[in-house]
Structure 1
């Protein structure tokens, strides 16, 4: 394999990514998605805004994240953050902020017995946030620490993902890390947050989701007491440039003291949930690298058969894990997506082999596709596994809102409708249209990155070493991979 390599010290990578029934019964009146669940004692509100890190000024990376946290982890004009948390605690209520490239969401959950005062608090956080100096300093310090201490210091996997993002989206708004940069955060003043909030958290950008056991008239109340009080704003989405084309296999190596080598691989694709081919690619991806399951070929061959690392997965859209689950968070839609492979940290002596194997398996997938048996098994798995996506009312609501943003029918219903009619030919044709193995962005976080670069350039064989003797079949395949 031939690579073009770029070598960086760790100091230049300065950001990170934060972090039941499946029914589709919803009532939608733009910009509100309502999902009544009459027998639920809980009510969930997801107040989303089509604003994210792509809207931040060049010199103030992290401005949207800081604005969101001052609503999700700050006070109101009439109530301090400490008073607010004391009020929410006996209700077992929660309010949090989630932010990404193109969308930011304030998520609130409360027992319906406390719904009236809770909505007032949520309204004030969104419409008249306190923007207190102490809250500002605390949240800016939190974001700065997430960049300087967590990402650079001890989260090599996220560092690899951010390095991949920087390589994929150089000179593109998506290249802006959602948590910001050390210099960008330091440059932000409280007045900048106030101005950004007034400009972007507006009627034109809002999409509201309400779910659970709320009373009659509650949706109208949310629209009256929250949406109508927002300032007017431009509803036109920010134009995005075309993503730069990759030229061969471009490698970005990040040199740091690491106990193992973290690898992320990716390339842009022109498919989102709004496209028919997305569902065929879902089946292909589930076969190839379903997140944290042994349904995926990568997981079986790299971890199961060889014990190279803890896990190996692939994705056909941006994926952020929802807490400790195996599921993606909702409400992170993007108009431009990418395919990626995540190779979790591998012992240094096997890292070159693992990189070769992942790319070779991708090449085999593109060239050979799925067999009828593999297709049937993966489609059946995905039809059942996708039901787990919506185990909570909040997640169901999130998927309904995502579908509204993408302009499609309810995503979970579409999976159940479309997958049974797919054929193995449909899936393999979609693979050939959208996936490839020749033009790749590859981010590697490792110790002695210069030596790794030299091995890549020399293209010398990289035989693996195992703790136990491999089978004759594995040894034979390893010979092919070693010199791939």
Structure 2
């Protein structure tokens, strides 16, 4: 791995992988809902769309054809704390990819007509998302966990916020966020670092960096709540949220193992209990969400409404058990092997290598070696799992969200205890 400053304020991190012929390249921008004011909600995602609509010298069609003509892939996504524009190409076409992506980042046209049209596209995207309750419930859970905080807001924005954002607002937001101190470039695959750095340095046309990077709002101590949305669906989609850890918290290795034991995979406790033993659900899992200053743990299940009370009783039993008793060495070993296996197998992808570099520098200002992560995982004890479980799974700090036939859910949640 090599890291260098290729222009004032702009850092490039790359990793050469000699066994592949492709390269993944990504521009990571400090632009996400965590940095948006109330009247800007959705601006980061709006800009993600608009950067594909054209530059001063390229049309939207030209951008698409530039990658199709070389057999490459290009895309982007917006997360809570960053936006990533990325591509994957055969190594001989890497310079072309650099040329197009830098043009998109540095010379976005942001045409007023495109703003009007793309607003409609995003409104359709919101509608599509709300019509998928198994996805929509997770946005609701974030809002329930972080009430009145940017991290609780939807990445896509709302119909109200999008209606108030115009081309001038987006131009101002673009200038504030797409500046050198807020951009990290990462690449992995068949590449030569110095050559890539030279291509980028020659094409990056950015203003002088500002003295400091953008900072997200600090977490606000607030009581979590329940958000229930009535929908005429066959299944109820239910999610429970608990306090979690930040990306830099040293306890995160134990936290990830705890998550694996509870609900990651078919051998996990909740999957075995809810599906295999009681046949209450088709799908049940847990996940963790970590940010620069905070995080949360989540439990998701989709089931018939009349099965909710029993399912919550079973979840309460499992949470009580994992908060009162140390897990066995056998269960701990299985969790470690699963977490390590997912990490190691994921590193067979150039995109995952690139993502590890970009996220590390963007969110933590460092890239942790895979070997170090494995060593930290191996060092975790059953006692540490117990400690993290008791600190996270507190009934009075639980948030909840549900989409479906929600009548009777408040009573079921009120009875949940351990």
Which residue of 155, 173, 181 maps to 1:178?
155
Are residue 388 (structure 1) and residue 345 (structure 2) matched? yes
Which residue of 182, 185, 193 maps to 2:170?
193
Alignment of 1:290-439 (within 5 A): 290=264, 293-318=265-290, 333-343=291-301, 345-404=302-361, 405-410=363-368, 412-439=370-397
Are residue 238 (structure 1) and residue 215 (structure 2) matched? yes
Paired position in structure 2 for 1:80: 59
How far does the alpha carbon of each residue in 1:418-453 deviate from its partner, in whole angstroms, 9 at most, with x for none? Answer: 122222223223333444344200111122x34433
Paired position in structure 1 for 2:142: 165
Alignment of 1:252-271 (within 5 A): 252-269=227-244, 271=245
Deviation, 1:239, is: 4.5
Deviation, 1:88, is: 2.0
- SS of the residue corresponding to residue 40 of structure 2 reads coil
CA distance in 2, matches of 1:179, 1:161: 13
CA distance in 2, matches of 1:402, 1:372: 33
Are residue 44 (structure 1) and residue 24 (structure 2) matched? yes
Alignment of 1:59-98 (within 5 A): 59-71=39-51, 73-98=52-77
Closer/same/farther in 2, CA of residues 454 and 312 from structure 1, 3 Å limit: closer
Which residue of 246, 257, 260 maps to 1:272?
246
- SS of the residue corresponding to residue 148 of structure 2 reads coil
- SS of the residue corresponding to residue 188 of structure 2 reads strand
CA contact (8 A) 1:199 1:233 kept: no
Paired position in structure 2 for 1:131: 110
How far does the alpha carbon of each residue in 1:246-291 deviate from its partner, in whole angstroms, 9 at most, with x for none? Answer: 37xx43221122211010111222x23422211112222111111x
- SS of the residue corresponding to residue 91 of structure 1 reads coil
CA distance in 2, matches of 1:450, 1:433: 31
Closer/same/farther in 2, CA of residues 433 and 455 from structure 1, 3 Å limit: closer
Deviation, 1:227, is: 4.7
Are residue 115 (structure 1) and residue 94 (structure 2) matched? yes
Paired position in structure 1 for 2:256: 282
Closer/same/farther in 2, CA of residues 180 and 51 from structure 1, 3 Å limit: same
- Unaligned runs of at least 5 residues, structure 2: 6-10
Paired position in structure 2 for 1:217: 194
Aligned residue pairs, count = 412
Normalising by structure 1, report the TM-score. Answer: 0.79
Closer/same/farther in 2, CA of residues 376 and 212 from structure 1, 3 Å limit: closer
CA contact (8 A) 2:323 2:389 kept: yes
How far does the alpha carbon of each residue in 1:110-165 deviate from its partner, in whole angstroms, 9 at most, with x for none? Answer: 22222223221111100001223454334322211122x2133x211222111111
CA distance in 2, matches of 1:289, 1:55: 31
Closer/same/farther in 2, CA of residues 219 and 359 from structure 1, 3 Å limit: farther
Alignment of 1:458-473 (within 5 A): 459=415
Paired position in structure 1 for 2:8: none
Closer/same/farther in 2, CA of residues 356 and 253 from structure 1, 3 Å limit: farther
CA contact (8 A) 1:203 1:228 kept: no
Coordinate RMSD, CA, aligned = 2.4
Return 367-376 or 162-171, whichever deviates more: 367-376
Closer/same/farther in 2, CA of residues 89 and 239 from structure 1, 3 Å limit: closer
CA contact (8 A) 2:146 2:222 kept: no
- SS of the residue corresponding to residue 217 of structure 1 reads helix
- Unaligned runs of at least 5 residues, structure 1: 1-25, 319-332, 460-480
Which residue of 119, 133, 150 maps to 2:128?
150
- SS of the residue corresponding to residue 129 of structure 2 reads helix
Return 188-197 or 381-390, whichever deviates more: 381-390
CA distance in 2, matches of 1:220, 1:385: 31
Normalising by structure 2, report the TM-score. Answer: 0.91
CA contact (8 A) 1:288 1:297 kept: yes
Closer/same/farther in 2, CA of residues 91 and 451 from structure 1, 3 Å limit: same
Return 349-358 or 41-50, whichever deviates more: 349-358
Deviation, 1:388, is: 2.4
Closer/same/farther in 2, CA of residues 118 and 272 from structure 1, 3 Å limit: same
- SS of the residue corresponding to residue 46 of structure 1 reads strand
Paired position in structure 2 for 1:27: 2
- SS of the residue corresponding to residue 39 of structure 2 reads coil
